[in-house]
Structure 1
Amino acid sequence: MTETRPFSPRPDGGIQPFEIAAPKLQSIPFVFCSPHSGRHYPQAFLDASRLDAEAIRRSEDLFVDRLFDFVVELGAPLISLNLPRAYIDVNREPYELDPTMFDGSLPTYVNSGSARVAGGLGTIPRIVAEREEIYHGKLAPADALQRIETVYLPFHEALQRLVQDTRRRFGMAILIDCHSMPSSVRAMPGGRRPDMVIGDRFGTSAAPRFVSFCVERLASLGYDVTRNRPYAGGFITERYGRPSEGVHAIQIEISRELYAHERRFEPHSGFARLRDHLLQLAASFAGFVCAEDDLPLAAE
């Protein structure tokens, strides 16, 4: 049984920014997060965009929230952003903003010099995948701050609470940050394009044994898996991963071609198989963690 706990007040368009699906009793020390699978687009945002209804979706982590919705039955919560990454990216610092996007001055505490801002992918993105500009014109600074205050900050408050509650309950917490990547992801040396990438910020955000378990288990299921390349984990992995404090954060990137028609934005026949394999991974990982750290599978 799940409980959905939306945040209010709602932003433009009446869309709840995020939701948490949670078991009545959390029984494993995991929190799952899907920050980029939102697919509800506020009308005012669409009106301000120069992109059509298909092009605007090219940054979505297609249906990742649905790929991982089984975790509730395993005994872990899943927090998912309902609003799209193109509208606001919660896998960034709270104020990574590009001053050239706005028709007025931004607060002095804004980080306008990050590599992500330079690439057009700040907290309020300038582009979607394939480097297409999102907006017709400039935005009001107040618009960006409103999105951050009503979507970004409450999302992270909720995620932080889930992680803290898990750590208090079990003595540790493992955050799995769930993403997908286009099949056209830049090739590695030799032309390799992996099926999945497990990221731990180059060994800093999670215990190596946990990361190795995930890589080896996925490889045993037949997937080509790399570690930290080409994706080592973003802001969420970096911010929440504190192994020395008993909080581990691991990012998983999944090639969209494994489960979806990327240009039609539809799941294909591989969706069910992949979801079953992710279920096998999560269940075996939970068993491994509970055995390694002498935790009960269900806490009282």
Structure 2
Amino acid sequence: MPTPNDSAAQPPFEIFSPERQVVPLVFNSPHSGSAYPASFLAASRLDAWTIRHSEDSYVDDLFASAIAHGAPLLRANFPRAWLDVNREPYELDPKMFAGSLPAFANIRSVRVAGGLGTIARIVSEREEIYDRPLDVGEALARIEGFYKPYHQALLDLIQTTQSTFGMAVLVDCHSMPSAARGGTGRLRPDIVIGDRYGTSCAVELTDMAAQILTRLGYSVSRNKPYAGGHITEHYGRPNQGVHALQIEIKRCLYMDERTLQPTAGFTPLCEDLSIFVRKLADAVGSGLLSLRDAAE
């Protein structure tokens, strides 16, 4: 079974850019990181295999074709179990920490209650990560040193794209467990597209994305069970020319969810997602989607 990578050997995050950006798309993979700090593994009550089950494993690879199609791809190398950049910066559970949180921390969000705040309490919807409280200073250091630089890099990509093309489309890339929580055999649709119920991007963009994926043979749902997280909600401003769309891919399409190894479905899915990226880029870049009008 795969083991975590050493965080000391990798930068916290990376931007993969084409020689020249030719489409107003930006791709983001915030949860595919597998570079675990040794101190984090030592502080966890979980073994090095179990702790990986919250990763969106290989999602950065699934969407790597975006670069060849002329769009940049940002990926986190640190894992979401250590720091989740798809949360508000200070969604923190006070019960997890030794010491007082800042007064401005959001301690009552639904995500905090579920154990999945900016500093997660659990992995894979049930496994407690820590066996003792964390120092508040450690949590704030992760936010200052990693969360904020990551979001600055993402903001820079979006702003540069909008400045160049007059608009920007952020595609936030994720994967999801194949079975619904607590239900064996209740498989989810192949792909869930989230647009915060029509508020984070133009509806015609969501329509186009769903149409392309459906024609490729995938079952597609909108906003259920995932409508989009903090990134989609925070950056999606269609009336200002920035559209954000979240895509969740069912993991059994491309990996063994027990061993975390890619399966025979991995390459065909990569090929289909390359077609998806190309068609979406063509539609946006050619003006088939009048997304610029949303900003007027």
| TM-score, normalised with respect to structure 1 | 0.91
- Which residue identity lines up with residue 33 of structure 1 in the other structure? N
> How far 1:187 moved relative to its partner?
8.8
CA offset digits 1:33-77 (Å, max 9, x no partner): 000000011100000000011110010001000111111111100
CA contact (8 A) 2:21 2:70 kept: yes
Q: Does 1:202 align with 2:191?
A: no
Query: Could you say if the C-alpha distance between residues 57 and 38 of structure 1 is closer, same or farther in structure 2, counting changes exceeding 3 Å?
Result: same
2:37 aligns to what?
Answer: 42
Pick one of 190, 193, 201 that aligns with 2:188. 193
| Cα displacement (A) at 1:185 | 2.6
1:248 equivalent to 2:243? Answer yes
Shift of 1:14: 5.6
Alpha-carbon offset, residue 261 of structure 1: 0.8
In 2: Cα distance, 1:52 partner to 1:12 partner = 17
Match of 2:168 in 1: 173
The size of the alignment, in residue pairs, is 284
Structure 1 Cα separation of the partners of residues 118 and 258 of structure 2: 25
Q: Give CA deviations for 1:246-295 in whole Å, capped at 9, x if unaligned.
A: 10000000000000011111111100000110010110111111222589
More moved, 221-230 vs 179-188: 179-188
Hey, what's the Cα distance between the residues in 2 that align with 1:145 and 1:121? 16
- Is residue 22 from structure 1 mapped to residue 5 from structure 2 by the alignment? no
Mapping 1:127-142, distance limit 5 Å? 127-142=122-137
Question: Aligned residue for 1:298?
Answer: none
- Distance in 2 between residues matched to 1:33 and 1:226, nearest whole Å: 20
Partner SS state of residue 98, structure 2: coil
2:115 alignment partner in structure 1: 120
Counterpart secondary structure, 1:58:
helix
Check whether the contact 1:187–1:193 (CA below 8 A) recurs between aligned residues: no
- Corresponding residue of 2:294: none
Q: Match for residue 280 of structure 2?
A: 285
1:15–1:42 contact (8 Å) kept in structure 2: no
- Where 1:175 maps in the other structure, the secondary structure is strand
Structure 1: gaps (5+ residues): 1-10, 296-300
Distance (whole Å) between structure 1 residues aligned to residue 69 and residue 194 of structure 2: 23
- 257, 279, 295: which is aligned to 2:252? 257
Q: Which residue, out of 41, 60, 66, partners 1:65? A: 60
**Matched position secondary structure for 2:169:** strand
Alpha carbons 1:13, 1:44 under 8 Å: kept: no
Q: d(CA) in 1 for partners of 2:68 and 2:88?
A: 32
Is it true that 1:56 corresponds to 2:39 in the alignment? no
* SS of equivalent residue, structure 1 residue 52: coil
Equivalent residue, structure 1, for 2:70: 75
1:232 correspondence with 2:213: no
The whole-number CA distance in structure 1 between the counterparts of 2:187 and 2:133 is: 39
Q: What is the aligned counterpart of 2:217 among 222, 225, 229? A: 222
> How far apart in 2 are the matches of 1:43 and 1:165?
35
Structure 1 segments of 4+ aligned residues over 3 angstroms from their partners: 11-15
User: Match of 1:218, SS?
Assistant: helix
> Structure 2 CA distance, aligned partners of 1:224 and 1:281?
14
Cα distance change of structure 1 residues 51 and 192 upon mapping to structure 2, 3 Å threshold: closer
Q: Deviations over 1:203-252 (max 9, x none)?
A: 00011111001111111111110011110000000000000011000000
Aligned counterpart for 1:274 among listed residues 269, 280, 284: 269
**Equivalent residue, structure 2, for 1:153:** 148
Q: State the match for 2:157 in structure 1.
A: 162
Does the aligned pair in 1 maintain the 2:205–2:289 contact within 8 Å?
Answer: no
Contact persistence 2:7–2:35 (CA under 8 A): no
